């Protein structure tokens, strides 16, 4: 029990590491929370600093989620606890203690936890994201499409009830965090991938 609680705390703290803030400040002297959409994920880093910094942020945000779940798997926790660890890491990204509880939208960290918990599902989510992003050039739309597929893929490819519940929970988180993006998509005002900070109305970031 104590081990599981400690793993949840570690997962939250790992999720709280604000890679976007660190990378943007180191790479361009930019306070990421004051430019573009104000979020701390890779899309805002791409706009504010550039491709290299965005790639580092993306890897960091995916990696921290995967590492948190990997720790749980290494300690042999139950699927229920593993799902809780995954959620704790994503919540850490959304509400990071190291960044004043002002986080991103959790897409990259969600991908990381799913890749570690359900590798086949995670791989398909990545393909869906890439396909939608390549065709329509909206990061938010790609995130929403991949997240919508998550519960179905978790049920059909994994089947463990805690993983299905995890998929539904992550979908709900992504939708709630993207409600402004959904409104802008409907209005045709959403910024596309690669637009510089200030060139749009603040597209989603992970």
Q: What is the pLDDT of residue 37?
A: 74
Read out DSSP for the chain? Answer: -HHHHHHHHHHHHHHT--HHHHHHHHHH---GGGSTT---SHHHHHHHT-HHHHHHHHHHHHHHHHHHHHHHHHTT--HHHHHHHHHHHHHHHHS-GGGTT-----HHHHHHHHHHH-HHHHHHHHHHHHHHHHHH--HHHHHHHHHHHHHHHIIIII--HHHHHHHHHHHHHHHHHTHHHHHHHHHT-PPPTTPPTTSSS-----
Contacts of range 146-151, beta carbons closer than 8 Å, 24 or more positions apart:
146/107, 146/111, 147/107, 147/110, 147/171, 147/174, 147/175, 149/124, 149/125, 150/114, 150/121, 150/125
Q: What is the pLDDT of residue 201?
A: 39
Q: What is the pLDDT of residue 34?
A: 83
Nearest CA to 114 among 87, 139, 93? 87
pLDDT digits (tens), the chain, 206 positions: 899 999 999 999 999 999 999 999 998 788 888 887 778 888 888 888 889 999 999 999 999 999 999 999 999 999 999 999 999 999 999 999 999 998 999 999 999 999 999 999 999 999 999 999 999 999 999 999 999 999 999 999 999 999 999 999 999 999 999 999 999 999 999 988 866 655 443 333 34
Q: What is the pLDDT of residue 200?
A: 41
Contacts of range 188-196, beta carbons closer than 8 Å, 24 or more positions apart:
190/138, 190/140, 190/141, 191/47, 192/137, 192/138, 193/43, 193/46, 193/133, 193/137, 193/138, 193/139, 194/46, 194/47, 194/137, 195/47, 196/47, 196/48
Q: What is the pLDDT of residue 35?
A: 84
Q: What is the pLDDT of residue 64?
A: 98
Q: What is the pLDDT of residue 27?
A: 82
Q: What is the pLDDT of residue 194?
A: 66
Q: What is the pTM of this model?
A: 0.91
Q: What is the pLDDT of residue 192?
A: 86
pLDDT tens figures, 101-112: 989 999 999 999
Q: Could you state, in order of their start, the residue ranges of all structural domains in the chain?
A: 2-95+106-187
């Amino acid at each position: 029990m104590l081990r599981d609680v400690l793993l949840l705390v570690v997962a939250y703290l790992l999720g709280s590491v604000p890679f976007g803030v660190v990378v943007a400040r180191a790479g361009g002297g930019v306070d990421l929370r004051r430019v573009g959409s104000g979020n701390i994920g890779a899309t805002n880093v791409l706009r504010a600093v550039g491709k290299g910094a965005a790639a580092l942020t993306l890897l960091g945000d995916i990696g921290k989620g995967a590492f948190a779940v990997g720790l749980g798997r290494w300690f042999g926790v139950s699927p229920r606890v593993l799902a809780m660890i995954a959620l704790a890491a994503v919540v850490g990204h959304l509400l990071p203690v190291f960044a004043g509880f002002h986080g991103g939208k959790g897409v990259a960290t969600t991908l990381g936890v799913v890749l570690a918990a359900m590798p086949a599902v995670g791989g398909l989510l990545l393909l869906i994201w890439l396909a939608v992003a390549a065709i329509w050039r909206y990061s938010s739309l790609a995130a929403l499409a991949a997240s919508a597929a998550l519960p179905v893929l978790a049920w059909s490819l994994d089947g463990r009830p805690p993983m299905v519940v995890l998929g539904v929970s992550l979908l709900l988180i992504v939708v709630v965090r993207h409600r402004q993006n959904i409104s802008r998509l409907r209005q045709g005002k959403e910024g596309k991938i690669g637009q510089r900070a200030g060139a749009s109305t603040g597209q989603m970031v992970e």
